[in-house]
A and B are shown apart, each in its own frame.
Chain A
Amino acid sequence: MLLSNLEVVPHKKIVRHLGLVQGSTVRAKHAGRDIMAGLKNLVGGELKGYTELLQDAREEATGRMVEQANAIGANAVLNIRYATSSVASGASELFAYGTAVELED
């Protein structure tokens, strides 16, 4: 599966356009991490726990998008965009979407 946020893949032709595919997940860290992050907020710096949380979530969202693309017979997803929103305090939502296409070999 080829993933790209370009519109076109250089040197490859798009054979079929298969439409919008999307993947999303909502995740939360356990309460202990929330406390640690709160403490870390006092001194600033990177919140490792949350970086990890969002990283995991982004991977999962991408994975789900790819799963959708696979299911409809695509071999690439182009023009991928990511969006983050916090649905509830302490939980974050990761959303990935793009256009599934079939590229020529």
Chain B
Amino acid sequence: MEKKKPDLSNPEIPEGINASDEHPLKEFFWLLIGITVFAALVIGALSLSAGWLAQKIPFEYETQLADHFPDVESGDSSNEARIAERLQGIADRLSVEQNLPEGMHITVHYSDSDVVNAFATLGGNIVIFRGLIEALPSEDALAMVIAHEIAHIKHRHPIRALGRGVTIGISFAAIFGMSGSSAGDRVLGEIGLLTALSFSRTQERAADETALRALVNVYGHGNGAIELFDTFSELEQTRFSEPEVLRTHPQSLDRLAALNDQAEKKGWRMNGESLPMPQVLLEHK
């Protein structure tokens, strides 16, 4: 039997069948844009509804969430305690004017730090820094700050910010936990946190308005607001970095203009004589 030699060969197979030649950056940008837009929409909607739901949380629960704040012992005669007491006095008068809901009470804390800042947080707690008191010209201006922070609490802004923050955090963890990409997790999680932990401009404006009403009712005029925003706009100009308190806030002069409009509409007096800063607040040591 004749043995025919088989026809064997390995022809060259063309490229681009199993791996495409498309530029990887193209896919990258399309995916990044698409996912960012989608995630922004979904997370935006989620965080809005979470913020809305959060203000339905009873204030008592909020207080329990925040009970890690150390209480100043009564009878403590240190300067710090006296300052906190005086600040509390101002806050109490302003809170009466703001018609706080049943069960909501404000606690003012004093912090010995150079930071020019004050903030409102969960459980009706307000923290005022020494740097802020030293930067302000009068009791009225300080009262405006305190009234502003009380207004945040009245409008439940801290718990809403927490609701938003938690939602955004969970969403990011969920999305990027699934993708298994540590880089995505880190980068986008970071951005999410940065946007979550602040009050919105609208919230600031609302707090300004409520605060001015209380200020006018207690002090008879709104001069404190004028002094406060003048001080802030000076600080904005002289410092390279903005004072902490202003970072998320609308420009001071814009806010003042908005308040002037408001006062004109409601017939409030803006000009008047401010009370000097109480000496006890300046005697730290």
In the complex, is A directly touching B at CB under 8 Å?
A: yes
Q: Is B179 an interface residue (CB 8 A)?
A: yes
Chain A residues whose C-beta falls within 8 Å of the C-beta of B180 in the assembled complex: 88-90
Question: Which secondary structure dominates where chain B touches chain A?
Answer: loop
Q: Is A49 an interface residue (CB 8 A)?
A: no
A22 touches B18 (CB 8 A): yes
> For chain B, which range describes its interface: under 10, 10 to 19, 20 to 34, or 35 or more residues?
10 to 19
A71 touches B17 (CB 8 A): yes
A16 touches B13 (CB 8 A): no
Tell me the complex Cα distance, A23–B17, Å: 8
Tell me the complex Cα distance, A20–B11, Å: 10
Q: Is A43 an interface residue (CB 8 A)?
A: no
Chain A residues whose C-beta falls within 8 Å of the C-beta of B14 in the assembled complex: 68, 71
Within 8 A of A (CB), among B8-37: 8-14, 17-18
B175 touches A18 (CB 8 A): no
Q: A15-B7, A17-B7, A90-B180 are in contact. Are A64 and B17 (CB under 8 A)?
A: yes
Specify the chain B residue showing the minimal Cβ separation from A19.
Answer: B10
Tell me the complex Cα distance, A16–B14, Å: 19
Q: Is A72 an interface residue (CB 8 A)?
A: yes
Tell me the complex Cα distance, A24–B18, Å: 6
Q: Is B178 an interface residue (CB 8 A)?
A: yes
B9 touches A34 (CB 8 A): no
Binding site for A on B (CB under 8 A): 6-14, 17-18, 175, 178-180
